[in-house]
Every structure is written in structure tokens, then in C-alpha cells.
Structure 1
Amino acid sequence: MAGEENQVVLYGMRVSLFSARVELALKVKGIEYEFVEEDLMNKSEALLRYNPVHKKIPVLVHNGVPFAESLVIIEYVDETWKEGPRLLPQDPYERAKVRFWAGYLHQQLFEAVASVIKTDGEAQERAVKEVHEKLKVLEEGIKGSYPGGSPFINGDNMGLLDIVVCSILGPHKAQEDALGVKFLDPEKHPRVTSWVKALTELPLVKEAMPPHEKLVGILQLFRARALESAAV
């Protein structure tokens, strides 16, 4: 580590895709950090102190100062460590586009995927349809905003948008195994499918993303609890 004056500590969980977002950002920037594994059933005093509002992971602590929420953390990392690859474009217009699509992924696509996990029967069928509709919008939007070139939206390096899409669609095979539904269709979403495939083959992504078997187990457990709560 680069010394106490530049200490970076990430409070998270190895099976959390939100934690994986931040780890990917730190790895892309080449930042050394300490990872503190949290148990959300028994949250540490440090986590509650550093994130008293939401009491959630991930939390990044830099020089004793905490930052919460994955997208906020990633932008802080990009603005603080300017010497590494940029996670957001320098151009204000291009940066605004990245923020727009990152917000769309984070708020709309993620929520649609979460609905598939938490429902069954006709409700789940509607949720799956909504995921495909969101992916269609993303496919068309990406074609219009980023025609041709590298499979990575931010040029030759992973950027904020790549990191967010990787955290939501990167585990699509685990989602298929756990839920019995298919999200990515290379015929309907060729650009998004090739984008996700290229990202998940990167060594940095393989290192940061939770193992397939663990993700399947976590998704199944989360789904079982959600369905049990809904039945009460």
C-alpha cells in the first residue's frame, strides 16, 4: 500500500456486484487497496460509522474519509487519481452521455432484473419481458451513441459504463442457471451481447467478479427469501 497518507480501504462483500463495481474501478486505475469483508447480518461498527445513512456496502475510505454508493465512489476515484486510465471521458458531452446510460442501467435495467429474481409465474413473465424491452432500448441507444469501433464504450480501456454493464449483465449465465430465464439474445441484442462477452473475458473482470457457483447460490437464496416474504 502507498502508505498511511494515501490509504484506501474498501468495505464490501465478495459476492456483491456493487462491490465488484468499485473493485473493477480500482483495478483499472491501478490503485492498491485493502478489502474488508462485511457480514450484512452482523455489520461492523466501522461500516455503520462510515455509512450511517444507508448502512450498506460498498464504502470506500480514503485517508480516513468515507464515500458511499458505487457510482459516487467510482467518480471520486476517477477524479482523485487522474494519472491512471480515465473512467469517464474528458469531453463534457461525452461524459454526460456516459452518466445518462450508467443511470439507465443502474436504475431501470437493474430494477427490471431484480423484479425477475423476486417474482414467479405471470409476474415473472412480465418482468422478463420488461428486461428485454430495456435491453432493446440499450441496444438502440448504444448503436446511436457509440457506432462501430472498440467493443468497449470508453475506447480501448474499461470505463464507468463498461463497469456498470458488467456488474448487471456480466453474471448473465449465473442468472440463467439460478432463474431458468435467458436475458441476452445475440440475435435481438447483438451489440450488447458482444459487449458483455468482450468484458467478461478480460482478466481484470474475471478477478473482480464473484465466482459463478457462488453467484448462483446467492441468487437462489435471495429469490427464495423474496418469494417467501411475498407469500406471507
Structure 2
Amino acid sequence: MAERSEEVKLLGMWASPFSRRIEIALTIKGVPYEFSEQDITNKSALLLQLNPVHKMIPVLVHHGKPISESLVILEYIDDTWQNNPILPQDPYEKAMARFWAKFIDEQICVAAMKVVGKTGEEKDAAVEATRDLLKFLEKELVGKDFFGGKNLGFVDIVATLIAFWVMRTEEIVGVKVVPVEIFPEIHRWVKNLLANDVIKKCIPPEDEHLRYIKDRMVKLIIKPA
């Protein structure tokens, strides 16, 4: 039985890849929820109360109990609403899905962020480091529609960070971090994502999203003296 919307609340931010992950998972599961938009530059008392450790979004509140960290929340959602599973059922495949999800967040995301604000040789080195990591995902996609096979799953949800944040910002940062000639499988996978109704519903509108990212990058790069 689906939960009533007032029993599930998501504190998130419309342009955050980590927040959007949770929206994708809840939509796949068919779980109604209340969305609470948060200003990450002026954190609300509610956010600080519900996530006092990291003080960050997303936070999922279920029956009044808060859960933080997007990967933890995704697993909680999959355990709580067991229809349309997003994690593999096989223990080994589940472990590998967790491995790749951590790899994306802890290595690819970190490397890609270093491209922003760099110039010259430093930017070139950051791009190459990111590409070297992405090559592992490129191999994982050979012969598959999605990372888990035929259906959208846990790693795909996590990797939307690459498809709709890293790749969308290439024009803004002035370099093709994920060129199609090096990463044809990733580009094919992105096309599969864009054909998925849940993804189309849950990703940010591109023009508005790019304006927001560009504004954020300017603020990060040009700091007051």
C-alpha cells in the first residue's frame, strides 16, 4: 500500500543531483511525497534540526524519522518500498552496484569538480583525471542499456550526476569532459535515460538549470577580495 503523502517528506533543492536522485527513486516506487525546497546558502532551522551532522540536503523524513545522505536514502527507499526494486537482488550484483555508486560519488564527482575554475595545465590535468575514471564506467556499459542491464537501477540513478550535471556543464567550463569519440557507450546510455519517462519527469529543465549552474560557478570562481 502506498504511503500517504504527509508521511513522506523530502528536503531538497531543485538543482541538486543528490536531491534529484531521491525524487527519481520515489517516482519509480510510486511513493507520494511532500517536497520542501531548501536554500543551501541560507539553511533553514528545519534542515539543521533534521541533519545536524552534515547540515546538507537531501533529507528524507518518513513517519517523522529523518534519513540523510543520498546513497543511504536510496537504499532505505528500496528496503521500505519493495516494488520496482532499484538494487539488484543477487548479493554479488548488489555489492557491485554499491561499489560503483561510491566510485561515482567519491572519485568521479570529486575529480570533475576540480575542472571548475582551473585554467591551462591544471584544467587539462583535471579533465584527464576525470576521463581516466569515466573509462571504467564506459567499460561497464558495453552491451547494456543501463548499468544494471535492461532496466533503470541504482547505479543509473546515482550516475545521473554525470549525465545531467557534468555533461551539461561542458560548454560552461569550456571543454568536452565526456567527448562522444572517447565515451560512445556513456553517450548511448544518456540517450536511453532521456527516453525514460521517470528520468524525463525528474531531471531539472535544461535552460534554467544551466543558468543556475553558471551563476554558481561565477560565485565560486570570483570571490570578494
> Does TM-score exceed 0.5, indicating one fold?
yes
Contact 1:117 1:219 survives alignment (8 Å): no
Once the two structures are superposed, the pairs formed by residues 71-150 of structure 1 within 5 Å of their partners are 71-82=71-82, 84-140=83-139, 142=140, 148=143, 150=144
Question: 1:225 Cα shift?
Answer: 2.5
| Aligned equivalents of 1:51, 1:159: Cα separation in 2 | 26
Contact 1:28 1:158 survives alignment (8 Å): no
Unmatched tracts of structure 1, length 5 or more: none
Letter aligned with residue 189 of structure 2: W
Contact 1:50 1:66 survives alignment (8 Å): yes
| Local SS of the residue matching 2:146 | coil
| Aligned equivalents of 1:42, 1:186: Cα separation in 2 | 38
Question: 1:172 Cα shift?
Answer: 4.6
Structure with the bigger RCO (C-alpha within 8 Å, sep 6+) is 1
| Aligned equivalents of 2:54, 2:11: Cα separation in 1 | 14
Question: 1:59 Cα shift?
Answer: 0.3
Unmatched tracts of structure 2, length 5 or more: none
How many residues are paired up?
224
Letter aligned with residue 200 of structure 1: L
CA deviations 1:51-105 (Å, max 9, x no partner) are 01111000000000000010000000001111x2111111110001111111111
Q: 2:68 maps to what in 1?
A: 68
Between the two proteins, what is the percent identity of the paired residues? 41
User: Over aligned residues, Cα RMSD in angstroms?
Assistant: 2.0
Q: 1:174 maps to what in 2?
A: 168
Change beyond 3 A, Cα 1:29–1:199: same
| Local SS of the residue matching 2:114 | helix
State which drifts further: 206-215 or 70-79. Answer: 206-215
| Aligned equivalents of 1:57, 1:119: Cα separation in 2 | 27
CA deviations 1:120-169 (Å, max 9, x no partner) are 332112111111111112223x05xxx52x40122333211010111222
Contact 2:4 2:32 survives alignment (8 Å): no
| Aligned equivalents of 1:114, 1:129: Cα separation in 2 | 13
| Aligned equivalents of 2:77, 2:108: Cα separation in 1 | 24
| Aligned equivalents of 2:185, 2:92: Cα separation in 1 | 22
| Local SS of the residue matching 1:183 | coil
TM-score (norm 1): 0.89
